[in-house]
Amino acid sequence: MVTNKEAIIDKKDLVNIVFICDLHIPYQDNRAVKLILDFLKKNKNDIDYLLLGGDIIDFYSLSRFNKDPRRALNIQEDLDKVFTFMQNCRQALPNAKIKYFKGNHEARLQSFKWSKVPEFAYLRCLEPEKLFRLSELGIEWIPKRWQYKKIWFLHGNIISKHSGWTAQKIRAEYGVNVVCGHSHRTGKSNKTDLGGNCGGWESGCLCRLDPEYLEGIANWQHGFSLVNYYRDKIFYVNNIDMVKYSFIYGGKYYAL
């Protein structure tokens, strides 16, 4: 006879990982950012890792694309805003491990140095860890990807126009479970074969949803991913969509 198993989970048996990405500071959505910071603060005793999954800064002025001359191009001001955001993350999660992933927008820094000022390419003071002042906040720089048990976390360098398709392509390329950003969409892709089940999750974004370079509606969604790893044996990925600056998780309602 098969019976259902129910148990109260001991917090010591859980590892909780929050993955947020694509703020594109200074073009972040302030309300979405405020909502996630409030969530982190209220759950500070339960969150073990905070992963800043890339494109936290926009680096608009370093872009190779045509730039609007009306925009202020102040890199230092943008860096200060990124540091303030990371300070807020650290204050919300004083005991969590925080990791900052390189996204394609952070990669603009290297591309700019190599193509425009190669003499500065190897200055340590211009490396991301120094520019973002990560050591002051105890944040680790992740230049490519990071693995926890059976999941790989990364920003991603593949894009598809439909929800879940980016995760599908990255999952297929790596052949492992992946949590990624980059697409600005929330989505999920699973595949089961003789090797078992493998999943890919897209985590949405926290940037503004009205970019100047799109004529129509941006097919983007605010959101983030929360991974619960139970007894280091099995994990559950929650793709959390922010709907009108609100969401429900763990039986609690978070809203602005």
The CATH number that applies at residue 153 is 3.60.21.10
112 or 223, higher pLDDT: 223
Q: Is residue 23 part of a domain?
A: yes
**So what's the pLDDT on residue 232?**
83
Q: Is residue 162 part of a domain?
A: yes
**So what's the pLDDT on residue 211?**
82
**So what's the pLDDT on residue 122?**
86
Q: Is residue 7 part of a domain?
A: no
Share of the chain above pLDDT 70, in %: 94
Q: Is residue 101 part of a domain?
A: yes
**So what's the pLDDT on residue 70?**
59
Beta strand pairing status for 186-193 and 196-203? antiparallel
Q: Count the domains in the chain.
A: 1
pLDDT at residue 63 greater than cutoff 80: no
pLDDT tens string 140-189: 999 999 999 999 999 999 999 889 999 999 999 999 999 999 999 999 99
Q: Is residue 178 part of a domain?
A: yes
**So what's the pLDDT on residue 171?**
92
**So what's the pLDDT on residue 248?**
96
Q: Is residue 173 part of a domain?
A: yes
Q: Is residue 73 part of a domain?
A: yes
pLDDT at residue 249 greater than cutoff 90: yes
Task: Record the tokens describing residue 85, joined without a space.
Answer: 């955001």
Find the domain containing 192 and state its range: 14-250
Question: Binning pLDDT at 50, 70 and 90, where does residue 72 land?
Answer: low
pLDDT tens string 132-144: 999 999 999 999 9
Q: Is residue 256 part of a domain?
A: no
Question: Binning pLDDT at 50, 70 and 90, where does residue 112 land?
Answer: confident
**So what's the pLDDT on residue 6?**
67
pLDDT at residue 226 greater than cutoff 60: yes
Question: Binning pLDDT at 50, 70 and 90, where does residue 46 land?
Answer: very high
- Largest Cα–Cα separation, the chain: 72
What is the mean predicted confidence (pLDDT) over 227-255? 94
